Chain A
Amino acid sequence: MTSVAATTVPPPAPPVAVGDRLRLWWNSLSRPAHWAFAVPFIAFLAILPLWRPAFINTTAIDFGVVMAQFGMYALLAIGLNVVVGQAGLLDLGYVGFYAIGAYTVALATSPTSPWNITGDDGWLSRQWAWLALLPLAAAITAISGLLLGSPTLRLRGDYLAIVTLGFGEIVRLLAENLRDLTNGGAGLPRIAYPVIGESATNRGGIFSAGNAVAQPWMPNAGTWWFWVCLFLIIVVLLVVGNLERSRVGRAWVSIREDEDAAEIMGVPTFKFKLWAFVIGASIGGMSGALYAGQVQFVTPTNFNIINSVLFLCAVVLGGQGNKLGVILGAFIIVYLPYRLQSVEIGDESLGDYKYLFFGLALMVLMIFRPQGLLPVRQKLLTYGRELYVAARRRSRASDSEAAK
């Protein structure tokens, strides 16, 4: 009977897919090597709206504007990913935070709003008002996240989804009904944006909606906004990435996997759920402020509940919990409908069917690949990567020994 230990067969190695091999390779790289790949890729993304290759360019709406919108959706997806992907809280009212961010900037800078603080006798100059209000918008949405989260996060998952759905709808209805404040359905026009680089051709500066040249290698307003988005995305990714690898991130994952077990193991679940909610909200608010600045006009219809579902679609499609995956998801959600707008079958533009396709994609994905296109593999340890590399080195060494 002593031979049992010696004869036990090691468990068969799981099959290695192409994606796994790629991931192994990527994980075995050092951090500077990651950056060496990331920087050229970011640079490539940044010049994409200047380059406008024909097979990528969109015709119905300017490509720069599409990329700016992609940037905002990417921010939203990263924020929603913290809530849904990391902490596992299904938030169907995320558009509410987007709206609060946008309306913060709009209410403070639109001449139509009674709370306008820009202009000759205001506190802020119109030139820099937007920039000053960006952190304020993030802060106010964070507070709104706190206000919504503190009573509702004690609820179970399904209930939370519906309550947040109600919240999103309430925000929109408030924007619609508080007519004296938000101008109702007519919306708030002439929202401030950074006025930089005015010239004879660009009266309002490079960020003005009037700057709409559509030639290659000429940055228009959309492109400039995309660059602002890109900068913010990188900053937010760094912050969120560090959170993910910290005690906070580990708490989120434990809550997502099993809330009761996490609570018993001493994770203050409510506190960390609230943190996830607040951080997610403030990122959404930032995206809303970007939107208000770029479009320079907000109406309640921009914040319909269906947008919430679209954001969720981006997160689920890209891969819940994977912050790079959700950016891919956001790209698919924003870019494909615009690209397909110019593709026609019969006399129908394919772009009109976007909700049909996204709905189908959600259903099919949930059956066959619920983890999304780029699934996440959780690293629960701060030095998980180093440990992983060391473990792999050892196993490889033992493999080669066994081969002898």
Chain B
Amino acid sequence: MGSVTTAYLAVDVISFNVDRLVSQFWQFTIDGLEWGSIYALVAVGYTLVYGVLRLINFAHSEIFMLGMFGQYTVLLLLGFTPSGNAYNEGTVMTIVYLSCALVGAIAVSGGAAVSLERVAYRPLRKRNAPSLVFLITAIGASFVIQEFVHFILPKLTNGELGGSNSQGLIQLVVPQVQFTVGGGQVTNLTLVIIISALVLAVATDTFINRTKFGRGIRSVAQDPITATLMGVSRERVIVLTFLIGGVLAGAAALLYTLKIPGGIIYSGGFILGIKAFSAAVLGGIGNLRGALLGGLLLGVMEKYGEALFGTQWKDVIAFVLLVLVLMFRPTGILGESLGRARA
């Protein structure tokens, strides 16, 4: 009976570390906000498409992944080599280079998102397919894009891009501590990520809530038929929605690669995509501000969880959080519906 007496519960294996959370609370909060900003930007893509089409764009994570490759290509074209050494170009030139990379990322992601809509979703919409069919198509598209980068892209670029391994590092911004908040260190990278995410979030929010195009998107989300009768082109709104999602995913891809320069790989978008979707659900899917709030919240909670249980449990915490939120508040924190959420 020795084997039975040595048996123990799994609970013993997971240890808590409250001290770490308390002593480094601010550091974890800052890291969490940093991650949360990236989640939030990707989550907007999910939430807008869901709001307008009631479709989970499963392939959005691949749009994000393509954005990483987009900015990497631009950097290669600008003459950077993946040596792994950090570049120090001075503040002004770094900003110029990063802007170029941003344009590349946004172009690739936005273009990919719009063409995905054209190729995969539009034929289904014409056929009035049920939502399950859309979701399965999205999964298929996700596979195709991933495998394209995995196998076909290296052939097209002579092995420069894509393939089974992640891309060599091009590090433009070296994290340097600028100041501290309650013991938590704020680096220049943190500032770049959080401030750009904030700017983009405010810009998107203004676009959706204040402009004519935004009104069109909201009207289609609220009632497609009436919106069409009022002269809103549903097709154009859908393309625009995918474009906004793609552009923000591209921007998020650049911020992500600044943080994790070695993360550019064909499978690099998958988990982040699921988490961004969780963030969108957390805030209330279909709701723009919900996605932003959910992203930040998920990032922070994940980091606190990491502090408590250890790094390897980070992903588990995100998913458990998702399940818990859906159980107790299925419409998310701020509630669903893009149309009504304008307060």
Contact = CB atoms under 8 A, between A and B. Distances in A.
Q: Is this pair of chains taken from one and the same complex?
A: yes
Interface of A: 88, 90, 92, 114-117, 119, 121-122, 151-152, 154-159, 161-163, 165-167, 169-170, 173-174, 176-181, 305, 309, 312, 316, 352-353, 355-356, 358-363, 366-367, 370
Contact of B137 (A116, A119, A157, A363): A363
Interface in B95-153: 120, 123-124, 127, 129, 131-133, 135-137, 139-144, 146-148, 150-152
B230 interface: no
Contacts, number: 135
Contacts of B229: none
Nearest to A88: B132
Contacts of A181: 10, 13
A353 B277 contact: no
A2 to B, nearest CB: 40
A363 B316 contact: no
Given A356-B144, A359-B144, A362-B143, 12 more contacts: A121-B2, A151-B323, A151-B327, A158-B131, A162-B277, A178-B13, A312-B136, A353-B151, A356-B143, A359-B141, A359-B142, A366-B124
A47 to B, nearest CB: 35
Contacts of B137: 362-363, 366-367
A158 B143 contact: no
Shortest 4 CB-CB contacts between residues of A and residues of B: A359-B143, A362-B140, A166-B319, A356-B147
Nearest to A346: B155
Contacts of A119: 3
Contacts of B131: 157-158
Contacts of B48: none
B144 A360 contact: yes
Contacts of A161: 56, 135
B316 A152 contact: no
Contacts of A174: 316
Contacts of B322: 162-163, 166
B3 A117 contact: yes
Given A161-B135, A181-B10, A366-B124, A121 B56 contact: no
A367 B123 contact: yes
B323 A163 contact: yes
Given A121-B3, A174-B316, A165 B274 contact: yes
A174 B132 CA distance: 29
B140 A359 contact: yes
Q: How large is the interface on B (under 10, 10 to 19, 20 to 34, 35 or more residues)?
A: 35 or more
Contact of A166 (B50, B152, B274): B274
Interface in B1-57: 1-4, 6-8, 10, 13-14, 50, 54, 56
Interface centre among A158, A355, A361, A366 (most CB of B within 10 A): A366
A321 B231 CA distance: 41
B127 to A, nearest CB: 7
A255 to B, nearest CB: 13
Contacts of B330: 154-156, 159
Contact of B151 (A115, A166, A356): A356
A58 B132 CA distance: 35
Nearest to B2: A121
Contacts of A90: 132, 135
A214 B127 CA distance: 49
B323 to A, nearest CB: 6
A173 B319 CA distance: 11
B271 to A, nearest CB: 8
Contact of B144 (A156, A352, A363, A366): A363
B281 A353 contact: no
Contacts of B312: 173, 176-177
A152 B327 contact: yes
B287 interface: no
Contacts of A156: 330
B320 interface: yes
Given A170-B316, A309-B139, A359 B323 contact: no
A380 B330 CA distance: 33
A123 B112 CA distance: 58
- In this complex, the member of A151, A162, A179, A358 whose beta carbon has the largest number of chain B beta carbons within 10 angstroms is A162
B46 to A, nearest CB: 10
Contact of B326 (A155, A356, A358): A155
Given A355-B147, A367-B123, A166 B278 contact: yes
Contact of B136 (A158, A166, A316): A316
A370 B8 CA distance: 48
B146 A355 contact: yes
Given A152-B327, A161-B56, A176-B312, A117 B135 contact: no
Contacts of A178: 10, 13-14
Nearest to B55: A158
Given A163-B326, A173-B315, A359-B147, A117 B4 contact: yes
Nearest to A357: B147
Contact of B143 (A88, A116, A169, A355): A355
Nearest to B274: A165
B313 interface: yes
Contacts of A154: 330
Nearest to A164: B323
A366 B147 contact: no
A166 B323 CA distance: 8
A162 B61 CA distance: 13
A360 B137 CA distance: 9
A32 B71 CA distance: 65
Given A88-B132, A163-B323, A366-B129, A173 B316 contact: yes
